[in-house]
Amino acid sequence: MTPSTPIDDAEIARSIALEDIDVSKPELFERDGLHPYFERLRREDPVHYCKASEYGPYWSITKFSDIVAIDTNHKVFSSDHTNGSFVLDDTTLNAVDGGIYLPNFLGMDPPKHDVHRMVVSPIVAPQNLLRFEATIRERTKRVLSELPIGEEFNWVDRVSIELTTMMLATLLDFPFDDRRKLTRWSDIITTRPGYGLVDSWEQRESELMECLAYFQRLYAERQAMPPKPDLISMLAHSPEMQDLTPTDFLGTLALLIVGGNDTTRSSMSGSAMACHLYPQEFDKVRNNRALLASVIPEVVRWQTPIAHMRRTALEDVEFRGKQIRKGDKVVMWYLSGNRDDEVIDRPMDFIADRPRARHHLSFGFGIHRCLGNRLAELQLKILWEEMCERYSRIEVCGEPVRVPSNLVHGYIDIPVRLHA
């Protein structure tokens, strides 16, 4: 059998007609082949129209400042589910083509967005972060102490998933022994048939209904108890949330589960990759812990755990010389904006002491800026502190397996070997 010829994305990106570039293809993310296409779009056509894709026609916004302009203008570029979805793939969140409708406050514009967001925002208030810190530290120490030195294992499963799922279970006050259900449901929410997780829309819906039934039991329990500082209790005791339909409840759960899981999981996985690819930067941090202030936002930028968010134009508008029509899908590629060399010096590189490291797009801008960004950074900071205590090197010893998704920019498997 003849081995397949490796795909040269750099060559394809140079030679393909500009109008034929479609950066939404999941296989580009799966093989980490995106950056040459984004580089060309930023250079030649930063507001680019793709006339045909698996998800229909859409606009790609690929430069840092243009993404900020779109993200902060919700009066023209809407997230509201009545106008479209907040992601490119309508089927994962809307009831089209077999998908199931999952409304939540990411799919709302003000004022409704603000009311729903305020219900759950106390979970990440500063006093709660202080309350969580000791728990996160104890768990991180325990997880890392159980890892083998000098033996190969999957960092994603043993570290990234384990730590983020424990934290998510705490935020939800979810039965701890069942916490891996949260990982599965998070993956199911952002997938579609053919991506390796489910074989049909019916299977996906069945698993989401299992998720809904489980949380409805928890919701009823919390309603019957005095208010507690967990997300399900906050929903159960909020006057604004008493009219939630089962679909609304499932949509809100989808946002909380994915938001509390995938972002941090991918950044923890990216941390292992960064330590392997840039060992001199890991050494910098080991020798100077003050660099944690810049290295944590640098990890989040360099990894960019959510590759895009999408808006829908509410009116005909000219943007950077292009005529965007009412109803058009407008995709902000955070993954591209975080590699814009007009804003970020040496953007492809991981630099532990990068100046202005917080100047990145990974948490979004405007009203939809990531609610849990400070908690995510706290989890990453503690992980890096404990890694620096234990390891001289984190070696990736095989080809990583990436998530085949144009939304979640992460990993399924990173085979690593730790050096004490």
The one-letter amino acid at 310: R
Residue 334 tokens read as: 């955070």
Longest dimension (CA), the chain: 66
Annotation-wise, does 113 bind a ligand? yes
Ligand-binding site membership of 370 (annotated)? yes
94 Cβ partners below 8 Å, 6+ apart?
81, 85, 101, 102
- CA atoms of 385 and 365, how far apart (whole Å): 28
In Å, how far are 104, 250, 419 from 236, measured between CA atoms?
16, 13, 47
81 marked as binding residue: no
What gap in Å lies between CA 176 and CA 338, rounded to an integer? 36
Q: What number of other Cβ atoms are within 10 A of residue 145's Cβ?
A: 9
Secondary element (H or E) of residue 393: strand 393-396
Element (DSSP H or E) covering residue 229: none
What's the CA gap between 13 and 274, in Å, rounded? 25
Burial 369-407, CB ≥16 within 10 A → b, else e: ebbbbebbbbbbbbbbbbbbebbeebbbeeebebbbbbb
Q: How many CB atoms lie within 10 A of CB 368?
A: 22
Paired with 411 in beta bridges are 402
Q: Residue 202 is encoded by which pair of tokens?
A: 């019916």
Q: Which residues are annotated as a binding site for heme b?
A: 113, 117, 311, 365, 368, 370
Q: Which residues are annotated as a binding site?
A: 113, 117, 311, 365, 368, 370
